[in-house]
């Protein structure tokens, strides 16, 4: 109906800060990871906080790079790992992944001058070999993983991606697909010298249907740009992340991003209607339909949603956008205990029903840290737990009335400890102030010391028991053991702060946290994925037959294993 052809990329400085999830989780990356030269688009508001910035700098560990044994220098000095010494002095070096972790390079070919010439023929002028330019794509956002790729390719079309992969497949060259590089598990950067295949120039909107709300676009469109694009047409993207100013829709789909609208609009497995994917051998798999219903054969696109670039490279996406809500309200509440949190959630679902769009929780220790390190004031009296409830609907009056009835109910029944006027926000700035209490927890934690982080899914009624148990287990070894997250999604962010990193303390927590989660049939990675760092913990959430089938699927779709190697699947024995 309303076809469009527009370029959609993020604009620096346009980022909105909201306490986020998806490929970035609802936690912001640890403060220690930040560096001056690499402020991502989505974090402008936050990183401006001067007190926190100072903390960041003192905490940062500077590690000198070394030339790793698995990082082939090849024939050309230009391509060798020593390139990192040329990087601007304002960027501290990050230890090579191959040095930090026990990982062996697989026997892929090494990129040669002939390969570079071949790539130049496929994507003329878009073959990047300059070490400084490569630095940004070799290091992950958290600055805890670093590859030593010698070449980055910037295709503009699926056909170019197909030709690149066909070539790499024949030459046995490993490839690291990369979107906005905002992942938290080391999945978006090379481990060794994999060729980086960036979707950054694949940023065209192909079509938007203003009757059905179905958007079709290339994989490199930045989420924030898409969001603006559809909002101008009175729709919203079904997902929203803190990383929206940088992350690519293709990366969102590849990592099955959750995000702030998950409670309301559900998983990408439901909202993504079609995908175009280039397979490891260069075959273009066109499942890019824009249909809500299609029962013709196996739903192949589902295989690639959440496959973290290991089964194919997503080059285009078709996604269903819901109508834009006309009214948004936020309430901030205190609860005397976790049982009351759960009862409030049940009441909320029943009374707010279709307009409920977020149900977030944080514990008292989170609030203490937010008050102590960020000097934010709690709008409600001191409580064991705090809740942030958001509604989004099509009628300001109706939504306010529903929220009012809900508040009357929970206050009257003693589920909620405080109901002053200050707890409800109907205007945007007040709503943002309430959201800040929940969203800036990570920042407050970073100000408290070194932070160990876990992101788990649990049956909602056991969600907080893990925090209590770990707190008891660690005793005085930890400064704080805190729990917060998307209660409505059963997603807990468990964080432990200490004076400084300790391997012994890590051993006290791992695999304890994973085993505890497995004991509840939970997920050891709710929304961050496995990437490089968590791949060996997969067995805590999936039984051996499932892991075996995953390995078989990988072997079927990528028999040479060239796509994003060392990621998602556990190290083979």
Contacts (CB under 8 A) with its own copies, residues 254-293: 255-256, 258, 262, 266-267, 269-271, 279, 283-287, 289-293
Parallel, antiparallel or unpaired: strands 385-393 and 313-320: unpaired
Given 346, 413, 502, 571, the residue binding its own copies (CB under 8 A) = 346
Write each residue from 12 to 51 as x if it is in contact with its own copies (CB under 8 A), else as -, in one continuous string: ----------------------------------------
C-beta of 56 vs 525, nearer to its own copies = 525
Alpha helices in 452-573 (DSSP H): 465-474, 503-509, 512-519, 544-557
- Of 312, 250, 311, residue with least CA distance to 277: 312
* Start-to-end C-alpha separation, the chain: 54
State which of positions 383-422 bind its own copies (CB under 8 A). Answer: 393-395, 398, 401-402
Write each residue from 505 to 534 as x if it is in contact with its own copies (CB under 8 A), else as -, in one continuous string: ----------------xxxxxxxxxx---x
C-beta of 309 vs 379, nearer to its own copies = 309
- Residues 15, 31: Cα–Cα separation, whole Å: 18
Q: Does 361 bind its own copies (CB under 8 A)?
A: no
Q: Which two tokens stand for residue 444?
A: 């407050």
C-beta of 38 vs 542, nearer to its own copies = 542
CB of 489 to its own copies, least distance (A): 5
State which of positions 142-181 bind its own copies (CB under 8 A). Answer: none
Count other Cβ atoms within 10 Å, centred on residue 54: 11
- Residues 261, 251: Cα–Cα separation, whole Å: 17
CB of 547 to its own copies, least distance (A): 7
- Residues 278, 197: Cα–Cα separation, whole Å: 12
CB of 2 to its own copies, least distance (A): 9
- Of 501, 430, 515, residue with least CA distance to 470: 515
Q: Which two tokens stand for residue 450?
A: 């070194």
- Residues 198, 53: Cα–Cα separation, whole Å: 30
Q: Are 305 and 253 in contact (CB under 8 A)?
A: yes
Q: Helix 512-519 and helix 465-474: axis angle, to 10°? A: 150
State which of positions 322-341 bind its own copies (CB under 8 A). Answer: 323, 325-326
- Residues 79, 72: Cα–Cα separation, whole Å: 9
CB of 461 to its own copies, least distance (A): 5
CB of 555 to its own copies, least distance (A): 9
C-beta of 158 vs 446, nearer to its own copies = 158
CB of 218 to its own copies, least distance (A): 17
* Enclosing H/E stretch for 207: strand 204-209
Q: Which two tokens stand for residue 64?
A: 């000198």
Write each residue from 174 to 213 as x if it is in contact with its own copies (CB under 8 A), else as -, in one continuous string: -----------------------------------xxxxx
C-beta of 65 vs 483, nearer to its own copies = 483
State which of positions 435-474 bind its own copies (CB under 8 A). Answer: 457-461
For residue 563, give the DSSP letter.
B
Given 50, 124, 297, 475, the residue binding its own copies (CB under 8 A) = 297
C-beta of 8 vs 356, nearer to its own copies = 356
Parallel, antiparallel or unpaired: strands 152-153 and 195-198: parallel
Cα distances from 412 to residues 496, 532, 572, in angstroms, run 35, 49, 57
| Number of residues located near its own copies, criterion CB under 8 A | 95
Given 4, 118, 136, 538, the residue binding its own copies (CB under 8 A) = 538
């Amino acid at each position: 109906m309303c076809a469009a052809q527009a370029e959609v990329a993020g604009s620096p400085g346009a980022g909105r800060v909201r306490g986020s999830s998806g490929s970035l989780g609802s936690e912001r990356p640890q403060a220690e990871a930040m560096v001056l030269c690499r402020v991502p688009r989505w974090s402008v508001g936050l990183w401006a906080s001067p007190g926190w910035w100072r903390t960041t700098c003192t905490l940062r560990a500077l590690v000198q790079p070394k030339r790793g044994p698995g990082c082939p220098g090849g024939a050309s000095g230009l391509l060798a790992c020593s390139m990192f010494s040329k990087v601007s002095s304002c960027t501290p070096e990050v230890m090579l992944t191959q040095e930090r972790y026990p990982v062996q390079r697989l026997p892929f070919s090494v990129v040669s001058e002939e390969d570079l010439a071949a790539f130049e023929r496929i994507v003329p002028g878009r073959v990047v070999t300059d070490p400084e330019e490569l630095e940004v794509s070799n290091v992950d956002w958290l600055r805890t993983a670093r590859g030593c790729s010698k070449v980055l390719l910037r295709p503009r079309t699926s056909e170019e991606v197909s030709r690149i992969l066909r070539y790499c497949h024949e030459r046995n060259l490993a490839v690291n697909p990369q979107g906005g590089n905002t992942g938290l598990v080391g999945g978006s950067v090379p481990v060794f010298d994999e060729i980086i295949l960036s979707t950054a120039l694949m940023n065209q909107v192909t079509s938007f249907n203003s009757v059905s709300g179905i958007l079709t676009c290339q994989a490199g469109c930045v989420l924030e740009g898409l969001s603006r694009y559809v909002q101008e047409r009175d729709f919203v993207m079904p997902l929203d992340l803190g990383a929206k100013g940088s992350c690519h829709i293709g990366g969102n789909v590849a990592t099955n991003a959750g995000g702030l609208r998950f409670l309301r609009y559900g998983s990408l497995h439901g909202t993504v209607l079609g995908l175009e994917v280039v397979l490891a051998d260069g075959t273009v798999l066109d499942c890019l339909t824009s249909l809500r219903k299609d029962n013709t054969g196996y739903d192949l696109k589902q295989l690639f949603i959440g496959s973290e670039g290991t089964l194919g490279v997503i080059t285009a996406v078709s996604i269903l956008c819901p109508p834009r809500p006309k009214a948004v309200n936020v309430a901030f509440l205190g609860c005397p205990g976790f049982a009351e949190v759960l009862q409030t959630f049940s009441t909320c679902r029943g009374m707010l029903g279709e307009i409920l769009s977020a149900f977030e929780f944080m514990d008292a220790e989170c609030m203490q840290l937010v008050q102590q390190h960020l000097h934010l004031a709690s709008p409600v009296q001191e409580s064991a737990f705090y809740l942030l409830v958001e509604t989004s609907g099509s009628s300001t009056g109706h939504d306010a009335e529903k929220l009012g009835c809900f508040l009357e109910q929970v206050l009257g029944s003693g589920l909620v400890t405080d109901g002053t006027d200050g707890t409800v926000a109907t205007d945007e700035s007040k709503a943002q102030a309430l959201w800040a209490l929940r969203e800036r927890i990570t920042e407050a934690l970073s100000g408290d010391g070194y932070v160990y982080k876990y992101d788990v899914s649990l049956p909602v009624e056991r969600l907080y028991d893990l925090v209590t148990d770990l707190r008891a287990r660690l005793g005085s070894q930890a400064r704080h053991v805190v729990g917060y997250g998307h209660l409505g999604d059963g997603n807990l962010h468990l964080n432990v702060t200490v004076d400084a990193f300790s391997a012994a303390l890590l051993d006290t927590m791992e695999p304890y946290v994973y085993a505890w989660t497995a004991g509840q049939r939970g997920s050891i990675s709710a929304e961050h994925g496995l990437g490089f760092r968590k791949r060996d913990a997969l067995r805590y959430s999936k039984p051996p037959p499932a892991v075996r089938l995953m390995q078989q699927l990988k072997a079927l779709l990528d028999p040479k294993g060239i796509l994003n190697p060392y990621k998602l699947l556990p190290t083979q024995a």
